[in-house]
Structure 1
Amino acid sequence: FSSDGNPSKMPPIENDTGRNELKSRIQGLIDSNQVMVFSKSYCPYCVKVKDLFKELNVKCNVVELDLIEDGPNYQDLLLEMTGQKTVPNVFINKTHIGGCDKTMQAHKDGVLQQLLESGDNEAYEYDLIVIGGGSGGLACSKEAAMLGKKVMVLDYVVPTPKGTTWGLGGTCVNVGCIPKKLMHQTALLGTAMQDARKFGWEFNETVKHNWETMTTAVNNYIGSLNWGYRVALRDKNVNYVNSYAEFIEPHKIKATNKRKKETFHTAAKFVIATGERPRYLGIPGDKEYCITSDDLFSLPYCPGKTLVIGASYVALECGGFLAGIGLDVTVMVRSILLRGFDQDMANRAGEHMEEHGVKFIRKFVPVKVEELEAGTPGRLKVTAKSTETDEIIEGEYNTVLIAVGRDACTDKIGLDKAGVKVNPKNGKIPVNDEEQTNVPHIYAVGDILEGKWELTPVAIQAGKLLARRLYGGSTVKCDYINVPTTVFTPLEYGSCGLSEERAIELYGQDNIDVYHSLFWPLEFTVPGRDNNRCYSKIICNKLDSERVIGFHYLGPNAGEVTQGFGAAIKCGVTKEQLSTTIGIHPTCAEVKQCSVTSEVFF
């Protein structure tokens, strides 16, 4: 903020590209709104004009130039486009009206009503239809509604082969982040109970875990979130429809509910936010007898002896908490753990799991799953083949959990009828830096985007910012660089920025420094566990003042630790700045300040 209390002004746009981009955005707002008012929130003349349209029961789109960073640049370009420097600056059906006096005079003369009725004959039912009620879709729809738009959200969960379905909110709330973290916490509490005896707590030895109690509590909480999302949409006047949407024309969709009743809806703009679902193996018995993470969190019985197929973060997280509540868990890995993550860190997380009872079958893939005995759980036989030799192995398990990746839900929503291009290999949708597809009025956010992060906070941020750009005059785009994330394995792994492999690939081995440290959290010392298993490292660019380009942490509370380092990296922190920052003692986070030594273990 400036000294007069107003938002800090953005510097003038100096290049033609920036000017043309902003001018195009302004023109887009004018073209896509019946009434467009460029205003300032404190201006009494602006208030007078907005009140007039309210009295006329005419919806107007308002951009408050004093509340957006680019406000002064907007005003400069509006002057260039209209010859008017002051606010309000009013447009009706693409026609420039002028300021307050001219708008009031036009109303008095009857010209205003004529202009309001002179718009295009083609009118859409909605300003925006969002397909998908997950994190990104809900964020975008609520923000658009808050900006005065008429919005519909369609969300429909296709049941899994096991018949599992869930409520509004998408993967994260129902079958992802929320239940995963709560069940991870369940396992941590089991470890804490073991530690407690070392701290003097005395209790009966017959402590055991009850799966049904846990799943009931977790799903009751999820149910409250589902209801909360519905209430939030209602409060913001977003029309929520529990139907499956598919395009039949570029501006028209068909919505089919669970009773197969069809309705049809049109919109000026669309946002696709359909998310992903777990991938199956395509082998005999996978859909008949196996489950995925879509089924696990609401499974009505304890899964018993479990084989987890896959090495994704979903595989390791689920395998970790199942082992943590005392189950016999085996993870079958085709090649490497946590593809795309730093491999040093991934292997350390895997080694810790192995030390704590999780068995790994490496370089094998399943070829068929057979049912030996039906039940809850039943008994299954898995046949697997080596990826390197002709060796065949067999094993018996109560439950087989498939976690080999996820596929974008884009193949059955009529994108071809809308003209939207999709990567045929993975179903992902390519977009530009404003989440716009090749069809100008259709956008996409979340996990279905080509080459973007598959993370809930990213989808939420992208959805909100998209709505603000479309309807609020904002120019802020989602920043997909240096996004912090955490894998909730038993020993949690947090990261932000580049992996060591990627840093070497981009900058060369000789141009990076890696500072790393093994440490023993204080809370682990009294129980005497996991000595020298926690580990952290930062990767620095020697060619740029040792700026931190990668942060990696393996230890307790990784998400809480990584979040702060994520902010620091976004601000361009250097190794020297980290070294001179005084740590909070005793914590795990202080390891970056007091225990970092270049290229050797400390």
Structure 2
Amino acid sequence: MALRCGGSWLLSGFRRVVGTSLYAQRLNFIPVRMSSSGPGDEVEEFDLIVIGGGSGGLACAKEAAQLGAKVVVLDYVKPTPLGTKWGIGGTCVNVGCIPKKLMHQAALLGEAIDDARHFGWNVPEKQVITHDWAKLVGAVQDHIKSVNWVTRVELRDKKVKYVNGSGFFQDKNIVAACLNSGQVKCFKGNKIVIAVGGRPRYPDIPGAVEYGITSDDLFSLSSPPCKTMVVGAGYIGLECAGFLNGLGYEATVMIRSVPLRGFDQEMARMVCEEMQERGVKFLHTTVPEKVVKNEDGRLTVHWRNVKDSTTGCDVYDTVLFATGRRATTQDLNLDKVGVKYDKESGKIYTENEETTASDIFAIGDVIQDKPELTPVAIHAGRLLAHRLYSGGSECMDYTNVATTVFTPLEYGTVGMSEETAMQKCGEDNVEVYHAYYKPTEFFVPQRDPSRCFVKVVCERCEPQKILGMHFLGPNAGEVIQGFAAAMKCGLTYKALKNTVGIHPTVAEEFTRIRVTKRSGLDPKPQSCCS
């Protein structure tokens, strides 16, 4: 796909031209049945077969092997329409959390350069500071490859067999793997764990597959994305738009309904307002209708407003679809072995990671109604291995799992949103404490702190057990992690207000929070030492 940025022609990589329906088949991983092992071929037997080499599958496999099980991991990455592939490790390592956080950090460093002038660093005022996209991508990909290598070494050291093949059930205990050579190898397992994760969805509109990209492609683009349309306002869409804007590329976010669905909506609104103030554009209540490639190689996106049916269009260099993900289960032959799953999302129904078929389990993003988070998959995988091979009884607790949205002003959260708490407990039974604050590091450069905000949602009756905590500001992930542990221990508002904060930090703002929404008082920032 050719991109033009600043008047120059840029080649972002080779894309095979495929039809939408053909790629839909590839994306949904409908298997191609090739010649399998013959009657005389050996079928290797294992205690545990893990289908999928992402964070959860690898954690389960390594833990099981440490406990004495004979384990094989089957993993294969089908290329995106752009041809993007990656190594073992799953979404998080290759096209998710890790490259996202590195690019987010790159954008934050751009802000820090300007701040540095105010702190006495002699950064030339008139010098134009530019960013080198290719150098960033190179550094990010070098790190990813090093992690891929370490992962392979760890599997070898722990005596876990790794097969680079796309696995699917031939029978309840037999899993076949399609190899690159076209050969199909079969493995017999006493227990089988499905950990295939998910892949981004493309909307069913003309030009989406042919000309669009997803987060699976973004982190390895050889040329800068330049003016970018991001379709979707979940955490992936907002994070990508945020760091692209921070790196100097014009970004527009298209939102069908609400941003950050499932998150606290007051916090979501503030996240978007902050992004807009920093230069990100938003198209609200809007959906794409088609993507057209122009003669100059750029892309025209046509859209429609879902409220008033008005239409519009604009020209972009890159169109990034962040419109949700689908579990990659359609090629597994789940119906054949009695594993029930949601036909729309592809996600598997489980209870304590057990599927509806005996001795077949599922973990991670592939299971229905559970958080799609790497640490969740890892923890669930390890606990499952102990239940299977060391007599363990502990099951994964999916409540009060913390997470952070790495937008320009980060949003960390654990527990219930305000809306969920009100719905489950009733408005009269919920107390909401809130406060604005100004980080100390914002004072010297006089950065705008107007959306640095904390919120604590708790029961109204004593001792006011805390139901949810929300933090908007610098280092949100680091802040919310400790409070997540406290909430696991039954944190109350009384305990929180009796906790002595570390001064001056942004995390201490949780310990200083006193104003309730019910009081109607202004939650303005307190003075530095009050």
Instruction: Name the TM-score, length of structure 2 as normaliser.
Output: 0.89
Of the candidates 183, 190, 196, which is equivalent to residue 110 of structure 2? 190
Cα distance between partner residues in 1 of 2:176 and 2:367: 23
Relative CO higher for 1 or 2, CA cutoff 8 Å, sep ≥ 6?
A: 2
Map Cα deviations across residues 237-265 of structure 1 (whole Å, 9 max, x no partner): 10000000010111111111122111111
Query: Aligned pair 1:512/2:434, yes or no?
Result: no
Contact 2:44 2:186 in 1 (8 A): no
Which runs of structure 2 are paired with 1:120-139 in the superposition (5 Å)? 125-139=45-59
Tell me how far 1:334 sits from its aligned partner: 0.5
SS in 2 for 1:440: coil
SS in 2 for 1:447: helix
Query: Aligned pair 1:350/2:272, yes or no?
Result: yes
Query: Aligned pair 1:243/2:165, yes or no?
Result: yes
Query: Aligned pair 1:173/2:93, yes or no?
Result: yes
Query: Aligned pair 1:368/2:290, yes or no?
Result: yes
2:219 corresponds in structure 1 to: 297
Contact 2:457 2:467 in 1 (8 A): yes
Tell me how far 1:595 sits from its aligned partner: 3.6
Cα distance between partner residues in 2 of 1:373 and 1:296: 23
Greater Cα shift, 418-427 or 584-593: 418-427
1:589 corresponds in structure 2 to: 507
Map Cα deviations across residues 123-164 of structure 1 (whole Å, 9 max, x no partner): 970000000000000000000000111100000001001110
Query: Aligned pair 1:547/2:469, yes or no?
Result: no
Of the candidates 213, 218, 230, which is equivalent to residue 152 of structure 2? 230
Tell me how far 1:206 sits from its aligned partner: 2.4
1:40 corresponds in structure 2 to: none
Tell me how far 1:207 sits from its aligned partner: 1.6
Greater Cα shift, 196-205 or 497-506: 196-205
Map Cα deviations across residues 496-550 of structure 1 (whole Å, 9 max, x no partner): 0000000000000110000000011111111111222200000011245211000
SS in 2 for 1:219: helix
Contact 1:246 1:414 in 2 (8 A): yes
Cα distance between partner residues in 2 of 1:153 and 1:358: 42
Of the candidates 57, 60, 81, which is equivalent to residue 140 of structure 1? 60
Percent of paired sites with the same residue? 54
- Segments of 4+ in structure 1 off by > 6 A? none
Query: Aligned pair 1:391/2:313, yes or no?
Result: no
Cα distance between partner residues in 2 of 1:261 and 1:281: 33
Contact 2:256 2:286 in 1 (8 A): yes
Contact 1:124 1:268 in 2 (8 A): no
2:4 corresponds in structure 1 to: none
1:210 corresponds in structure 2 to: 132
SS in 2 for 1:597: coil
In the comparison of the two structures, how many residue pairs are matched? 476
Cα distance between partner residues in 1 of 2:78 and 2:325: 15
Contact 1:128 1:267 in 2 (8 A): yes
Contact 2:48 2:71 in 1 (8 A): yes
Cα distance between partner residues in 2 of 1:142 and 1:373: 52
Tell me how far 1:443 sits from its aligned partner: 0.2
Cα distance between partner residues in 2 of 1:594 and 1:538: 11
SS in 1 for 2:113: helix
Root mean square deviation of aligned Cα: 1.1
Cα distance between partner residues in 1 of 2:444 and 2:421: 38
Give the direction of change, closer, same or farther, for the CA distance of 1:219–1:124 in structure 2 (3 Å limit).
closer
Which runs of structure 2 are paired with 1:40-79 in the superposition (5 Å)? none
Tell me the amino acid that sits aligned with residue 302 of structure 2: T
Query: Aligned pair 1:459/2:381, yes or no?
Result: no
Contact 1:156 1:244 in 2 (8 A): yes
Map Cα deviations across residues 445-481 of structure 1 (whole Å, 9 max, x no partner): 0001111110000000000000000001111111100
1:486 corresponds in structure 2 to: 404
Of the candidates 205, 215, 219, which is equivalent to residue 141 of structure 2? 219
Cα distance between partner residues in 1 of 2:264 and 2:128: 40
Tell me the amino acid that sits aligned with residue 385 of structure 1: R
SS in 2 for 1:149: coil
Of the candidates 258, 266, 271, which is equivalent to residue 188 of structure 2? 266
Contact 2:116 2:123 in 1 (8 A): no
Tell me how far 1:388 sits from its aligned partner: 1.1
Contact 2:433 2:513 in 1 (8 A): no
Instruction: Name the TM-score, length of structure 1 as normaliser.
Output: 0.78
Unaligned runs of 5+ in 2: 1-42, 525-530
SS in 2 for 1:201: coil
Cα distance between partner residues in 1 of 2:225 and 2:351: 43
1:200 corresponds in structure 2 to: 120
Contact 1:520 1:533 in 2 (8 A): no
Of the candidates 243, 254, 261, which is equivalent to residue 339 of structure 1? 261
SS in 2 for 1:413: coil
Cα distance between partner residues in 2 of 1:343 and 1:393: 27
